[in-house]
Structure 1
Amino acid sequence: MNHFLTPVSFGVITERVVWMDYRFSDKVLALKPNAIREILKSASDPDVISLSAGNPAPDAFPIDEIREISERILRENPIGVLQYGVSEGYTPLRDTLKRYLREKHHIGTEEDELIIVSGAQQVMDLAAKSFLNEGDVLVCEAPSFVGALNTFRSYNTELVGVPVDPDGMNMEALEKTLDENPRAKLIYTITNFQNPSGVTMSLEKKKRLYALAKAHGCLIIEDNPYGDLRYYGEDVPAIKSFDTDGLVIYSGSFSKVLAPGIRVGYMVANKQAMSKMIICKQGQDVHTAMWSQMLCYEYMTRYDFEGHLDYLRKLYRVKADLCMKLLDEYVVPNGITYHKIEGGLFIWCDLPDQVDMLDFCKKLTERKVCVVPGNAFLTDGDLPCHSFRINFSTPTDEDLTAGIKIIGALAKEVIQ
């Protein structure tokens, strides 16, 4: 460290640092800021219409119930809320989730364990830390969730993307990718209402993915934060529901069905696989916040959790219908296409090949509308991309209407 000493009055010497050469680790040196988090800085401008965030609707939060629960547990069990807990999670919540997942989704066997994590993002980190060495390959959908991709990158993992069809990951491309990458260890997939594409993987493809993973000795991370937000069609069974070989690490979350600010997720995996991930969690945060875990437990057991999920589905169905209606009216006629959705919070829009997507998104920002450029969701952000993601859950109906009209007007100007 280079520094010099500056004398001040009364003979006191004050040391002042002028320069430091920060030598970052190889694991983080190449990491770039999360594109969505950076865009949200612009979206915080009150004059900007943000169609970029992935936040739940303001009307989605059960605020009164959360206030009641917080007051009660702080009154009746203050030490339990404020004291340390076990790394695996609050036992009553774990037991409740085990029953819920078995009864509703047929997830969990005697060979599985469930733990509570500090948001589903921690599942990706624990899995990567436990199973990936530097230079190992992780296979994922292209596009995929940028937060998970950055987590995997931090372990010097080689990311290989597989194209996404309207019914999920392209299985022929997946098989070719696994054949060509013998160091592939993990396959990451968001099987329901994928972020960012909105696509749901068909049951046929889920079974094919499982068979390919088994044949190539890979584990599957099945990320399912949006599965309870289906408002059209029939549920498709999770890959974990037919996992008889301990291949699937299943990730669930309360972020989209209760509140993201409480940072509570959960993970189901084979006990042997889970053992190392629990040790890794101990080194990260010791345990997930006790208040948050107790809050989730109380809400699931004392309140109408299923009724709340029904309310969310109705809320988002109305907003999704409005969004698709506006796109059909103002955007599609001007040359942009999009993928119809049956659930979740996102819609993926495609520009014609001749249109520069990044320039289009920049022009939208200049017109006070924020969307997320599609290359943010690729394993290599420098690859060609002609798509962008919009979110309809966060903005008001008025802002959503105004924002999509602006997108349509710009499309008419640029494309036609």
Structure 2
Amino acid sequence: MNYSFAERMTAMKPSIIREILKSSSGQSVIPFAAGNPASETFPLEAIRTFTTQILADHPVAALQYGVTEGYDPLREHLLEHLQQRFGIDTTGNSLMVVSGAQQGIELACKVFCNEGDTIICESPSFIGSLNTFRTAGVRLAGVPMEQDGIHLEQLEHALQTEHNVKLIYLIPSFQNPTGITTSAEKRKAIYALAKQYNVVILEDNPYGELRFHGDDVPTLKAIDTEQLVIYVGSFSKVLSAGLRVGYVLAPDEIIQKMAVAKQGEDVHTAILPQMIAHKFMTEYDYEGHIQLVRDVYRRKSDLMRRSLEQHMDASVAYTQPDGGLFLWCELPPNMPMLAYCKQAAASGVAVVPGNAFLVNESEPCNALRLNFSTPSDEQIVRGVEILGQVFTQQQQELAASNTEL
């Protein structure tokens, strides 16, 4: 049969990251391409104990349908946590639990954007969100990144010239894929532009608790005096990615619309994982666990950076994030990035080519993303050593090619 698929699917492509992971499944490939939390940070015994307790004490509540907005005890505690941890004034805002932060991003797009509307985003940016926006038929306007966040002049130019801008999508803290943190000064300037042009900010903050160097920077939601910010958070990087528990804090009217849209998708987020998350926050040493996770990522990030200093050519530049899961490496202009990534994979190291994160994947890009949370310490050292060897091989091949010419 010849299938007639929806036009929206023409904009969808398989995730390069997922395809890399699938192709390397079961093989001894060092996983610098993944974005998974470190498995050693999972509180396995606590999750096992909490699950047993919940099913013993509240089996019906855990296994029955629930309200769309989420498990009330978890919602109430999250509101308190956001106020205390991030200084967010929740007055006039509601919180909804979603099936992972990705769903919160998708719902925000669904309730604000018609086909042909524009979302302004950082470029590069998280490929999962970019594909979500593409599926909705939205036009993406990418604004390049600087060392302290999105380029302000080009952001304002996009706000002035793009058609029907509905959202500004940002990952201000330890951005995926670059690891860059937007400065406090730039966050204030971004917010002022959003206010001036009357555009909603979609703040994606899955790594907000994972700062391991330096001082915290206020979230955009913490400076939101005009009800302009939709804030998306997640338990994926601090508890378990597989439980699929995220949350959205936004003005009441927005959450009401998002709840209606969610009802048409999955009715509500699974209750058992929400109850586990609630116990994790209220009956476990939550702050101690967060510190443990930070310590793990500090060690792994520092180890990867030291290994890059030792094994990688000095012409390769890379970011030095203060938190999160990723480093962004810029190869010299004469080095063919895709050929380098393919050779790295053939040599046993999976990396993600940087163009996968661009709004326009055909634009020139000589960067790649490295993840330090998933691989073991031994894999980090060995993997970077291999990347350095591949770089040397590529340089030699380029030199030989130029000599022949």
Question: TM-score with structure 2 length normalisation?
Answer: 0.96
Alignment of 1:12-411 (within 5 A): 20-333=1-314, 335-411=315-391
Check whether the contact 1:90–1:293 (CA below 8 A) recurs between aligned residues: yes
Distance 2:24 2:39 in 1: 16
Deviation at 1:145, TM superposition (A): 0.1
Residues 352-390 of structure 1: CA deviation (Å, up to 9, x unaligned)? 111111111011111111000000100111111100001
Distance 1:182 1:30, change over 3 A: closer
Residues 86-117 of structure 1: CA deviation (Å, up to 9, x unaligned)? 00000000000000101111224321000100
Matched AA of 2:359: T
Residues 122-164 of structure 1: CA deviation (Å, up to 9, x unaligned)? 0111011100011101000000000000000001111011111
Aligned residues: 396
Check whether the contact 2:313–2:391 (CA below 8 A) recurs between aligned residues: no
Distance 2:392 2:298 in 1: 28
Deviation at 1:46, TM superposition (A): 2.4
Query: What is the percent sequence identity of the aligned residues?
Result: 49
Distance 2:84 2:295 in 1: 23
Deviation at 1:413, TM superposition (A): 2.1
Check whether the contact 1:61–1:258 (CA below 8 A) recurs between aligned residues: yes
Aligned equivalent of 2:403: none
Deviation at 1:53, TM superposition (A): 0.4
RMSD: 0.9
Matched AA of 2:23: S
Distance 2:20 2:194 in 1: 35
Structure 1: 5+ residue runs without aligned partners?
1-19
Question: TM-score with structure 1 length normalisation?
Answer: 0.94
Distance 1:30 1:247 in 2: 29
Aligned structure 1 segments of 4 or more residues deviating by more than 4 angstroms? none
Distance 1:359 1:233 in 2: 36
Structure 2: 5+ residue runs without aligned partners?
397-405
Distance 1:201 1:266 in 2: 22
In our comparison, the structure showing a higher alpha carbon Rg is 1
Check whether the contact 1:98–1:108 (CA below 8 A) recurs between aligned residues: no
Distance 2:117 2:305 in 1: 40
Distance 2:280 2:89 in 1: 22
Distance 1:325 1:350 in 2: 17
Distance 1:342 1:388 in 2: 19
Distance 1:110 1:178 in 2: 28
Residues 46-74 of structure 1: CA deviation (Å, up to 9, x unaligned)? 22111110011121100000000000000
